[in-house]
Structure 1
């Protein structure tokens, strides 16, 4: 059995009063059967909260099934949720067990519930009321024991007023409401989240160290992508500043939208860095760009040193053997070295 309070604190990270309230609501919900509605902007961690509820609940050994209600074609979502019988429609060559049956005994997370078509909302309400489903093309009611957790970044009250969401379904789903504010509204959570994401860097890889000034700059950022964007920034820091202390200037580079952060020729000591600005275009490959920039830096160093490899290696602060290996990998020709 899980230790609910400890597990919840480990999964839902933050020191803010808002996140403390979220953890309290999770604790109230873990032993209940009632549906939960999680609201908040995209990227704020709604699925993390849903998983915390499931993992801390008595259902933790049963399936947790997540589905994005807006990512499935309207003509397929009923079959995905409830399943279908063979021959029930064109292409239905066999029986399909839907997500409700797959989640039986566990939790079904309906993300972006505000995207669900009205026609399906009626059927979902019936499933909640009757605790049973009927496959498309089937005649048999199949009992299901499923805890529903729904999530949305929409204002469902406004959707109800506009006729886009059923009021009766809203109240059946929103028995336990949990609201997650944007990351910009809770800057005190940035530091704990950064520490958490750094801890997720693969063992054996050098982890960056963020200075107090770096954390202050991150906390002041508006985070349009919320926690998801912060995680990306921390992962980027681990790639470009492994084992280094990151200050405010490095953070500005990590947050830049139209520039590539410093790339490095890695050494046993501190890498030499170079900033390369580039406009992103469709199909842009960061890996290809970094490889091209590394090659250019090697060639420039050789030209500067008249083709003398030992001097060029010292110029960019790498071992001669490392420099030669990189030359081989990048297929740098004698002509490109411009040996005097």
Structure 2
């Protein structure tokens, strides 16, 4: 593997000596004559350099300041300090602040190569650790996404491909479909997952306040600025910045945002200095930005800067086959939140959910389920706890404006199945089963039959094949369970 060294030293002669020694050892070497130049080179491609060699004593930005800036951009890259004999104490202090090691100038050729190769080995271990963490995070994301539709399968594929990259992603879709969950999943699947995911709702802040929130400000920049405040770009250093409702940013601020995305530097309000930032950008919108560009309401250059990769979060009405699992997942969370014990859900209740078109998407489904959970008089949900507009809905038609086949869809994110907690003295019916409890019903139709079969499979698995416990959890008799197992080919007739 090619080893890449960045040397930051104001002495051209010493840089030349280091280059000669390390190139003979198989390294690729880049040079910078000042701390500012070195930080700029590193900011442009932080993962390109495996080791950085920094002189302690330089005019302008000295070695300590350079080390601090480099670690702010990517702390995993080992930094070796160069020091004269009189400043060894400063080099030791730099090691306390995160430097990998130090060498005295002029460095012995063998010691130089040995130290930098040792730092390279450390760098490789750090990168492998990042890769393994990203892989584990990706597996956790797959477990957490609820649903088995084709849209969910495409979402898994998209996260696996786009998550580990540094590409900017534009997440589009109606309100309530879970765009923020896609951003969280992409962050978790990246090598940045151990650092912060910083979220900004661009529609919730006035333009002036949004600018100071994004870029920060210095003391005295405006009335009330009594101290320096870092912006969200700085707070997300090494991690991910999620710009929600990006389509609501005013035009003048769009130009400033574009410049930051191009240069990867921010200039706090009231400051004449620029600060390099290393962040990955994820953005979301419920607007059609192509139409906004055509109408002159959104900058075309910013749109293309944001739309490196695009993912569409389809409305719930276009993936009704995910409703059974999704409803179960949400009920598990809501039961715990409201301290309610719920054993299952009736077939008629599920049928009503599948008939409704859900203009409010997953957010509306969650509200309806919470209402039903609170108003239900038994531990099995029935249609009488649903709002009238849901009960009165005709059978939902197939979606007429389908998402393109290549566009992945989003699903409500879940975790390990929670166990419902109940107030003291309330009898408990055991843990909430792993799927919706669907009671015996006739004429359910292919969609509901598919859901019913899947429910039986998961319930049997959850109770390890124990049919009496399975039947009880589903709210049906053991004889009915036997009939259903035969009907769906789950046992021999």
Decide: shared fold, TM above 0.5. Answer: yes
Structure 2 matches for 1:234-313, cutoff 5 A?
234-241=369-376, 244-252=379-387, 255=390
In 2: Cα distance, 1:248 partner to 1:205 partner:
18
Name the residue aligned to 2:217.
84
In 2: Cα distance, 1:131 partner to 1:235 partner:
44
Name the residue aligned to 2:475.
none
Q: 1:41 aligns with which of 144, 157, 174?
A: 174
CA contact (8 A) 1:208 1:242 kept: no
Q: 2:336 aligns with which of 202, 226, 232?
A: 202
In 1: Cα distance, 2:347 partner to 2:138 partner:
30
Using the size of structure 2 for normalisation, the TM-score is: 0.50
Bigger relative contact order (CA 8 A; separation at least 6): 1
Offset, 1:219: 1.6
In 1: Cα distance, 2:325 partner to 2:353 partner:
12
User: Structure 1 residue 28 and structure 2 residue 123: aligned?
Assistant: no
Offset, 1:192: 1.3
Residues 163-195 of structure 1: per-residue CA shift (max 9 Å, x gap): 011111111111111001110111111111111
User: Structure 1 residue 67 and structure 2 residue 188: aligned?
Assistant: no
Choose 224-233 or 31-40, whichever is displaced more: 224-233
Offset, 1:254: 8.8
1:94/1:256 CA distance change after superposition, 3 Å? farther
Which runs of no fewer than 5 residues in structure 1 stay unpaired? 258-266, 270-340
Offset, 1:27: 1.5
Using the size of structure 1 for normalisation, the TM-score is: 0.72
Q: 2:230 aligns with which of 88, 92, 97?
A: 97
CA contact (8 A) 2:371 2:385 kept: no
Residues 136-167 of structure 1: per-residue CA shift (max 9 Å, x gap): 11111111111110000000000000001111
In 2: Cα distance, 1:132 partner to 1:217 partner:
52
1:7/1:268 CA distance change after superposition, 3 Å? closer
Q: 1:165 aligns with which of 274, 298, 319?
A: 298
In 2: Cα distance, 1:241 partner to 1:62 partner:
43
In 2: Cα distance, 1:102 partner to 1:72 partner:
18
In 1: Cα distance, 2:324 partner to 2:282 partner:
29
1:242/1:249 CA distance change after superposition, 3 Å? closer
Which runs of no fewer than 5 residues in structure 2 stay unpaired? 1-132, 393-424, 428-493
**Backbone CA RMSD of aligned residues:** 2.2
In 1: Cα distance, 2:341 partner to 2:271 partner:
56
User: Structure 1 residue 226 and structure 2 residue 361: aligned?
Assistant: yes
In 2: Cα distance, 1:11 partner to 1:140 partner:
43
User: Structure 1 residue 51 and structure 2 residue 184: aligned?
Assistant: yes
CA contact (8 A) 1:12 1:48 kept: no
1:268/1:92 CA distance change after superposition, 3 Å? closer
Offset, 1:32: 0.6
Offset, 1:208: 5.0
1:208/1:138 CA distance change after superposition, 3 Å? farther
Task: Report the secondary structure of 2:336's partner residue.
Answer: coil
1:143/1:256 CA distance change after superposition, 3 Å? farther
Offset, 1:227: 0.5
Structure 1 or 2, whichever has the larger Rg, is: 2
In 2: Cα distance, 1:92 partner to 1:185 partner:
48
